[in-house]
Amino acid sequence: MSALDPSVIVGVVGAGAMGAGIAQVAARAGHRVLIQDARAGAADAACGRIRADLDKLAAKGRLSPEDAAAAGGRLVPVEATADLAPAGLVIEAIVEDLDVKRALFGALEAVVAPDAILATNTSSLSITAIAAGAARPERIAGLHFFNPAPIMALVEVISGLATAPEVATRLVETANAWGKAPVRARSTPGFIVNRVARPFYAEGLRLCEEGAADPATLDAVMREAGGFRMGPFELMDLIGHDVNAAVTRSVFDAYFGDPRFRPSLVQQELVAAGWLGRKTQRGFYDYRPGAAAPAA
């Protein structure tokens, strides 16, 4: 089973942080990429952001101006799920909610070809549950990129109970062809990275809640002494607290309320305030122009 040929059209549903990053990766690998989002104007805006990123890469000499222009030219914003019909691979990167994802996969199945692969970028939800009820659950798998998708090499390829081995293998080969470093996993809550990373966030949040030190200090310690690229608070601000809290909740529920994975009240407050991190310019830190001090 070989990688998808670059002539195969890729559909990306969800034009947020991850969808835009994934679309950029696929376009740079030579695929025409159809991008769809439920929010009016979001797919168009994502194409603009990706093209600006490609231009920056070209300006820094990391990509030739011709390749940047060609990749940008392969991005096509579309309006409706039905417009994804020509895609041979659709990658879903919408809200981390099982019911919403299942509804989307039902709608996708109705429009794509019988041999199209349907992949989800879910961070934590059961691939088996997302595929349950699908007419062809064997062509549904997890293809989990990390943030920012154009930079992070790791991709988890996750099989649910019904995923056909050749579908997982094709995704592994495709991720390799896209310059990524895929690793296979079976569908378990949080898969590999988001399972292992839970205590990194949870213990950081508990230390903060207990008043041991503030987020900036804890981040600095983890970076400078712990050797991590980012501390837990700046990483949660990058991921988005809505996304991170939904992942924690889904892993906590999947492990029958195991207290090790208990969600954080501090993070719940940030989500309630709409302080979702970098994407809203406020989270644990304040990213608004002119702001100097941490926001929380």
Rounded to 5 degrees, what angle do the CA atoms 53, 57, 61 make? Answer: 165
Report the C-alpha gap between 174 and 26 in whole angstroms.
10
Rg of the chain over Cα atoms, rounded to whole angstroms, equals 19
In the residue annotation, 147 being an active-site residue is answered as no
Comparing every residue's Cβ against ligand NAI, the nearest one is 16
Please tell me whether residue 84 binds ligand NAI under the rule CB under 6 A. Answer: no
Report the C-alpha gap between 123 and 105 in whole angstroms.
16
**Which burial class, exposed, middle or buried, applies to 2 when counting CB atoms under 10 A from its CB (0-12, 13-18, 19+)?**
exposed
In the residue annotation, 194 being an active-site residue is answered as yes
Please tell me whether residue 77 binds ligand NAI under the rule CB under 6 A. Answer: no
Please tell me whether residue 100 binds ligand NAI under the rule CB under 6 A. Answer: yes
| In the complex, minimum distance from the CB of residue 197 to ligand NAI, in angstroms, rounded to a whole number | 11
Please tell me whether residue 50 binds ligand NAI under the rule CB under 6 A. Answer: no
In the residue annotation, 144 being an active-site residue is answered as yes
Decide whether 100 or 212 has the Cβ nearer to ligand NAI.
100
* Size (the chain), residues: 296
Q: Which of residues 121-180 bind ligand NAI (CB under 6 A)?
A: 121-123, 145-147
Side chain identity at 157, as an amino acid letter? V
In the residue annotation, 176 being an active-site residue is answered as no
Please tell me whether residue 16 binds ligand NAI under the rule CB under 6 A. Answer: yes
What is the sign of the dihedral through the CA atoms of 80, 81, 85 and 86? positive
Which region among 52-60, 96-104, 128-136, 184-192 touches ligand NAI (by CB under 6 A)?
A: 96-104
Please tell me whether residue 43 binds ligand NAI under the rule CB under 6 A. Answer: no
Please tell me whether residue 239 binds ligand NAI under the rule CB under 6 A. Answer: yes
Cβ neighbour number for residue 188 with a 10 Å cutoff: 16
| In the complex, minimum distance from the CB of residue 64 to ligand NAI, in angstroms, rounded to a whole number | 28
Decide whether 58 or 264 has the Cβ nearer to ligand NAI.
264
Please tell me whether residue 94 binds ligand NAI under the rule CB under 6 A. Answer: yes
List strands edge to edge, sheet with 33-36.
75-78, 33-36, 10-13, 89-92, 117-120, 140-145, 154-159, 181-186
Residues 31, 109, 126, 144: which is the catalytic one? 144
Decide whether 58 or 187 has the Cβ nearer to ligand NAI.
187
Strand, helix or coil for residue 179: coil
Binder to ligand NAI among 9, 10, 17, 68 (CB under 6 A)? 17
Binder to ligand NAI among 13, 118, 218, 236 (CB under 6 A)? 13
- Give the contacts of 29 (CB within 8 A, at least 6 positions apart): 6, 177, 178, 179
The residues carrying an active-site annotation are 123, 144, 156, 194
